[in-house]
């Protein structure tokens, strides 16, 4: 446990004035971030296109070659350090609770600064809809038309794979092969859309995949190591778009609807028919979900048009998440919802669904 001793030796000698200064600095940090939120063009120009690409590529070069998630290991070690610190110093904490609270404030201040410097300011950049010159809303008629076209496309691709409308699609790739194909997808996509070029990949399965599953998450980006983490327990047919989604975060897009959109574009851009099926069925699921919320009878009509095999794949995903349902999942979702709202995503966890407007309007300009 020598590394723990080193951390404590570094932490403890800090003077009370220095600790207080670092802790208080959290307030002007928050004010500065919220002020910059009103100037997305400034953030876009100097952070998202300036500072962030340098930082992110550096850390992907630093950790991307490691075959496991360094960030997951780092989180684990920090957790062990925190628990041991509390245990070893429990008497001092009870005797001097204000000093302990000051130490916590110092940690929060440093974490807040590091998070926003290394990735978090991307929450305040210009919306990706502006780069594609897309409207932000759509009508029910546009949604229905999009669903009809996408249903036809999904059914066609499904049948080309299975030759049987009743059979579910099974991807014939390992998770590692899917990662490799995802990287190739971005290479090709970057040639068409330069600002989505992906260099120095760092795409990995999370060591905490089981925990992520119980929490209800498909993956996450570690903002401190810039590793894209994917839940390794996900059904294979959904894996490509989730991997694409997390790479979208690495590219500096923080809004969940935007990374859903980017992940879809990368996956559907792949020439592999299995990737195209993964992309089409993924986009269709979101579109049908929105139709279900606004017009249940019409949803039933459109859903019935899907090949039985496509519906089986949807059931596969639903059964997967249901098998890991637990009382704590809503708590984790609520925490993440609050986190998103605090970081410029007013819809919180529902922002994932906002990808539908991007998809509908994108295909208005680029027909299926």
Question: How far, in whole angstroms, is CA 353 from its chain's centroid?
Answer: 13
- Global pTM? 0.90
- Tens of pLDDT along 6-16? 444 444 556 77
State residue 340's pLDDT score.
55
- Tens of pLDDT along 36-85? 999 999 999 999 999 999 999 999 999 999 999 999 999 999 999 999 99
Q: What is the mean pLDDT of the chain?
A: 90
Closest CA to 267 of 235, 242, 230, 287: 242
Q: Is 231 helix (H, G, I), strand (E, B) or coil?
A: coil
Please state the φ and ψ torsions of residue 226, each to the nearest 5 degrees: 60, 35
* Calpha distance 92→112 (Å, rounded): 26
Residue 136 pLDDT level (bands cut at 50, 70, 90): confident
Question: How far, in whole angstroms, is CA 304 from its chain's centroid?
Answer: 31
How many angstroms separate the Cα of 41 from the Cα of each of 6, 36, 47, 208, 367? 42, 9, 10, 36, 30
DSSP E strands in the chain: the ranges are: 203-205, 219-222, 227-230
- Tens of pLDDT along 324-366? 988 876 776 576 566 556 666 666 445 455 889 999 999 999 8
- Tens of pLDDT along 252-276? 999 999 999 999 999 999 999 999 9
Residue where the block lists tokens 């990706």: 128
Residue 4 pLDDT level (bands cut at 50, 70, 90): very low
State residue 346's pLDDT score.
60
């Amino acid at each position: 446990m020598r590394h723990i001793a080193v951390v404590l030796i570094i932490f403890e000698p800090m003077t009370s004035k220095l600790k207080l200064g670092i802790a208080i600095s959290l307030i002007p940090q928050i004010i500065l971030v919220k002020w910059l939120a009103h100037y997305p063009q400034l953030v876009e120009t100097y952070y998202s296109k300036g500072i962030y690409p340098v930082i992110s590529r550096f850390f992907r070069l630093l950790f991307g070659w490691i075959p496991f998630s360094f960030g997951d290991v780092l989180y684990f070690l920090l957790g062990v350090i925190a628990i041991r610190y509390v245990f070893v110093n429990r008497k001092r904490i009870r005797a001097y609770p204000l000093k302990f609270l000051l130490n916590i404030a110092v940690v929060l201040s440093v974490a807040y600064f590091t998070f926003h410097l290394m990735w978090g300011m991307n929450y305040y950049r210009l919306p990706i809809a502006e780069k594609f010159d897309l409207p932000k809303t759509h009508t029910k008629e546009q949604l229905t038309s999009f669903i009809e076209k996408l249903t036809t496309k999904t059914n066609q691709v499904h049948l080309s794979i299975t030759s049987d409308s009743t059979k579910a699609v099974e991807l014939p790739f390992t998770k590692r092969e899917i990662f490799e194909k995802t990287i190739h997808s971005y290479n090709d996509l970057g040639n068409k859309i330069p600002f989505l070029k992906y260099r120095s990949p760092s795409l990995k399965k999370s060591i905490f995949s089981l925990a992520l599953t119980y929490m209800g998450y498909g993956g996450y980006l570690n903002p401190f190591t810039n590793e894209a983490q994917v839940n390794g327990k996900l059904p294979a047919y959904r894996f490509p778009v989730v991997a694409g989604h997390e790479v979208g975060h690495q590219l500096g897009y923080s809004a969940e609807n935007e990374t859903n959109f980017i992940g879809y574009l990368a996956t559907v851009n792949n020439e592999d028919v299995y990737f195209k099926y993964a992309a089409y069925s993924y986009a269709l699921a979101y579109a049908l979900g929105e139709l279900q919320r606004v017009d249940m009878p019409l949803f039933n009509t459109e859903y019935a048009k899907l090949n039985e095999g496509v519906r089986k794949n949807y059931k596969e995903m639903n059964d997967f998440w249901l098998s890991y349902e637990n009382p704590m999942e809503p708590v984790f979702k609520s925490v993440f919802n609050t986190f998103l709202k605090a970081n410029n995503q007013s819809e919180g966890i529902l922002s994932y669904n906002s990808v539908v407007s991007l998809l509908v309007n994108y295909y208005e300009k680029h027909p299926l």
